[in-house]
Amino acid sequence: QSRSLSSSELNEVSVGQRRKGTVRDDQPSLSWAAERIRKQTSIHFGFSTLSLAMRGLDEAPAELWELQDLQKLNLSMNCLCSLPPALGSLDNLVILNLLGNNLSSLPPEIGLLKKLRVLFACRNRLSEVPEELGSCTRLEVLSLANNQISSLPSSLAAMHHLTKLNLSHNRIVHIPTCVYSMKGLVFLHLACNRLETIADQIQDLVNLKILIVEGNSIHTLPKTLCFLDSLELLNVDFNELQNVPDEMYQLSRLRRLACHPLDKGLHIIHNPLLKPIHEVLQGGLSALYNYLKPT
């Protein structure tokens, strides 16, 4: 496995003299600088992979966008403020990691990455998401956590293969309507936003196993939430709940009250409940209460 480029080598590549590199059968001829970068790629779990993480980059080398056979690209933990339209030329990308940069936007050309299955764009400065991202219909994992996002474009409703969506630590007041169309979702993380309610359409997420909405201002839970019989972890810690629906007993996979963040079950601490938790749940959970006791 090849070593990663140093910062000085990247600078040399970016400004170095260009000349034609070796022509490969499966790829057009590359500039000399692009060939230098390509030699740093490796095959990881069968994918052509390049990591330029933690290189102090304020912009990606222009020659990077020539590597059209690249499948996994890691640009995390740099100082990138923007990405060029040329990102769309990497149309074989399956995984793109942009975590921990200074990105204020994503280029519309990201919609050209039709094979993309995983996108990490968390810990940036995004205030919106381009509508064109909805064209990445093969996406399975999308993390937009720790940004400044208040809404999502309706085009993301086309992401029927999405199983994990992380929107935590943003500025979301209402769960975006497009989320309720993501019928394949198994994991939905909305902690530390500005939510006050959850719409009745939550019942449409029939495959949901994990729902995390802690650290919001939610006053009530909809009865339709209780139709999600696949739900194994529900975290409503640190909200404004005074009660829960009587129909909670239908969530038979929430086998106990949970304390540790990774535990399955019902997380409901730090809410202004009008009654002790066992009384709040007693209406419909008398038959299951023994399973709901902390262990």
Yes or no: say if 94 and 138 are a contact pair by the CB < 8 Å rule. no
**Ranges 36-40, 190-194, 215-219, 286-290: which has the least confidence:** 286-290
- The percent of residues above 70 in pLDDT, for the chain, comes to 85
Q: Does the predicted model carry a pTM greater than 0.85?
A: yes
pLDDT of residue 24: 41
Fold of 33-292: 3.80.10
More confident call, 12 vs 90: 90
Task: Provide the pLDDT confidence category of residue 6 given band limits of 50, 70 and 90.
Answer: low
Q: Mind listing the pLDDT tens digit for each residue in 191-216?
A: 999 999 999 999 999 999 999 999 99
pLDDT of residue 47: 93
pLDDT of residue 292: 45
pLDDT of residue 273: 94
Domain segments of the chain as ranges? 33-292
Q: Mind listing the pLDDT tens digit for each residue in 8-22?
A: 555 554 444 333 333
Q: Does the structure show a pLDDT above 90 at 120?
A: yes
Task: Provide the pLDDT confidence category of residue 29 given band limits of 50, 70 and 90.
Answer: confident
Q: Which residues contact 163 (CB under 8 A, 6 or more apart)?
A: 140, 141, 184, 185, 186, 187, 207
Task: Provide the pLDDT confidence category of residue 282 given band limits of 50, 70 and 90.
Answer: low
Q: Mind listing the pLDDT tens digit for each residue in 146-171?
A: 999 999 999 999 999 999 999 999 99
Yes or no: say if 40 and 26 are a contact pair by the CB < 8 Å rule. no
In this structure, how many other beta carbons lie within 10 angstroms of the beta carbon of residue 32? 14
Q: Does the structure show a pLDDT above 50 at 285?
A: no
Mean pLDDT of the chain: 88
pLDDT of residue 12: 52
